[in-house]
Amino acid sequence: MIVVHHLNNSRSQRLLWLLEELALKYEIKRYQRDPKTMLAPAELREVHPLGKSPVITDGEVTLAESGAIMEYLLERYGSGRLAPPPGTAERLRYTYWMHFAEGTAMPPLVMKLIFDRMEKGPMPFFARPVAKALAGRVKRGFIEPNINRQLDFMEAELGKHAWFAGDQFTAADIQMSFPLEAAAARGGLNASRPKLMDFLGRIHAREAYRSALERGGEFQLLS
């Protein structure tokens, strides 16, 4: 039986969604973030040494890293669903976006979260102006220009096809959902980029997306 080690408000929501799209049977083992630090509880390290979510167990297999888990599930249980055939232009775009989501899109969004917190977090009053000035410089000089360039690129790509890999919905759209949800929560994604907003609207309307939310519970990205 596939067990998803599911941390609230996290990337593991994507896996529940994939499993719902594939109509596979699975169990959820729940973990709660520490309300102050927002970190995962130490028990998750008993499943995988890094203690991050998602992790799945499936018989003898324990696997972390959302892209790797998606590939494993599709290869083992997908029967060709949600992935374009190998050797096609769609497959190459699918592979690209599968990697882009965690390899390129997420790093500046995670940095934005950290530097926003650095500005607002508790500290001695005399340190705040320094922290604010430093965080502001990094955000304006590096983080925000990168996020904006990436959002422009994604917006343009969705002007070419309905979905990231082409005209069909694939697992690459599931993988890309998290950076786009994060960008809407904290990266400045709004109605000025209508294709991306429309993408979010279309994924939210999918039955499997909604079933995953019902099973997974609360899902509100950190902002």
Nearer to ligand GSH by Cβ, of 63 and 162: the residue is 63
Least separation, in Å, of the C-beta of 222 and ligand GSH?
9
**According to CB under 6 A, which one of 48, 54, 84, 109 is a site residue for ligand GSH?**
54
CA dihedral angle for residue 65, residue 71, residue 72, residue 76, rounded to 10 degrees:
160
Window 63 to 122, contacts with ligand GSH (CB under 6 A): 65-66, 102
d(CA 67, CA 72): 9
Window 163 to 222, contacts with ligand GSH (CB under 6 A): none
Check residue 56 for interaction with ligand GSH (CB under 6 A). no
d(CA 220, CA 223): 9
**According to CB under 6 A, which one of 21, 26, 53, 171 is a site residue for ligand GSH?**
53
**Of the candidates 194, 150, 174, the residue with the CA atom closest to the CA atom of residue 22:** 174
- Beta strands at 26-31 and 2-7: parallel, antiparallel or unpaired: parallel
| Alpha-helical regions (H) of the chain | 12-21, 44-47, 66-77, 89-100, 106-120, 128-138, 144-157, 171-186, 194-204, 207-216
Nearer to ligand GSH by Cβ, of 39 and 134: the residue is 39
d(CA 160, CA 165): 10
Check residue 52 for interaction with ligand GSH (CB under 6 A). yes
Residues shown for the chain: 223
Structure tokens at 69: 């888990």
Check residue 11 for interaction with ligand GSH (CB under 6 A). yes
Nearer to ligand GSH by Cβ, of 70 and 151: the residue is 70
Stretch in the footprint of ligand GSH (CB under 6 A) among 18-26, 50-58, 120-128, 129-137: 50-58
**According to CB under 6 A, which one of 7, 19, 105, 189 is a site residue for ligand GSH?**
7
Q: Which residues bind ligand GSH (CB under 6 A)?
A: 7, 10-11, 39-40, 52-54, 65-66, 102
